[in-house]
Amino acid sequence: MGRPTRPTEAYRDDPDAVSLPEFDYDDAPEISGMPPAYTDDATAAPRRLPRHMPPTASPRNTDTTQLVLGKPVNVVKGVQILVGDSRYDTDPVYLEEGIREFADVAPTPMILIMGSHTETVRRGDKKEKNHITDFKILLNLEQYLRNNYDTDDTTWMDLRTVENSEKAYRGGFMKSRAPGFKQDLEVGIPKPELKEWCHRYCAAPSKLRIFRLDRTVTGLDQTLLKNRIEGLIRSTNYRGHISITFPVENRAVDIYTSTRINEWRLKTWVRWLFCLTFLWLFAWPYLFFATKRYAVVRAEWPFSRADAAGRKAYTTLSEEQWFERWRVGIRRLVLDRYQGDASDEHLAGVIARPEDPPMPGQIRTGNQGVDAAVGLLQTGLRVASDVHRGGVFGGSTQAGWGGDF
């Protein structure tokens, strides 16, 4: 059995995946009820390995179509949607093997660094504000989830099922806890493992079902990285608005039952037809209540993990080590007003440059006297502009770039 290639960002039904306007399932009231009956009546058949699709390139690609097992499937917001393999519907052994294969594919955690400002322009008697993006840098952290950077190593990945006291989709249209459980109160009943959940899913009578595998990143100190990166950007005298987020690609796999309704609900033209003709007013309630969802399994990929004494062990390197390795490259990309993906190889090439680029708006001629004179002139122009707009000295007149005006 060969290893699958990489497929393609909390369970929440994606609005595009259900073909209809978004409904916030997380706000649905709690319910209780037994999931479909468990059965051991399963026959193992020779397994056909799924041909996994490559992931979407970045969070900017929110809706694509690819081929899996020779059939077109959708990739919506980083979630791979599989429909058309009927063996997943009825063969629990086949389903379990497929889930384990998908779990061996790591999610793709990213850092999206954005800087922006607004410019006010006058058009006749009116003022308009334009939103300007100064830089937009996307960094990929996937390789730091593999032990010693080994792309075939999955020893740190932990495949878990939800706890009985945890609210999740357990074969219904709303989240619920296991029967007899309230919050963290335990009653001594062991939680179902992956094998049992696969049997329950395949034994369920509903024709419309979705089984989701979540891929999560654990042990990453996002607050530390955000503070370090923001401080680095401010050190360039940047005065604009900074946004640092942590999107995740390859964050989940949805397996839909192979029914005609599920195939049609994922087609773009069908979604548009239902929206334009307002047929969604009738179809959406039916799909919402008829679709039984299972979001009970997650593959946890740690950036770090702590032992019983609270000591952290890192898969590759720590957040501080990562920041020190790439801080010069990130700083220079900010000064370059770079917009796009920045791989480790790209960052290494940027770091290899002999010096930092000039601060945006500055002129570097190589002659110190000329550069000083130009800098003084630019400062004077900023002061004059600030006074013209009614500004205050010591505010926007300070040296810097990317500020609102």
Tens-digit pLDDT string for the chain (405 aa): 444 444 444 434 444 444 444 334 344 444 334 344 434 443 343 333 333 333 333 444 455 655 543 445 466 777 888 887 899 999 999 999 999 999 998 999 999 999 999 988 888 788 888 899 999 999 999 999 988 888 888 889 999 999 988 899 999 999 998 887 776 655 567 899 999 999 999 999 999 999 999 999 999 999 999 999 999 999 999 999 999 999 998 899 999 999 999 888 888 888 889 899 998 888 889 899 999 999 999 999 999 998 888 889 999 999 999 999 999 999 999 999 999 999 999 999 999 998 888 777 555 555 555 555 555 554 454 545 444 444 444 444 446 788 888
State residue 42's pLDDT score.
39
Domain ranges for the chain, please list them.
Answer: 25-351, 372-405
Neighbours of 336 (CB within 10 A): 14
State residue 37's pLDDT score.
41
- Cα–Cα dist 341/321, whole Å: 21
- Cα–Cα dist 224/22, whole Å: 33
Q: Is the pTM of this model over 0.75?
A: no
3-state SS of 16-36?
CCCCCCCCCHHHCCCECCCCC
- Cα–Cα dist 225/111, whole Å: 9
- Cα–Cα dist 161/37, whole Å: 18
- Cα–Cα dist 208/263, whole Å: 11
CA distances for 400 relative to 24, 241, 324, angstroms: 43, 13, 24
Return all residues near 391 (Cβ < 8 A) that are at least 6 apart.
Answer: 385, 397
* Pairing, β 126-140 against β 339-342: parallel
- Cα–Cα dist 252/213, whole Å: 5
- Cα–Cα dist 401/18, whole Å: 45
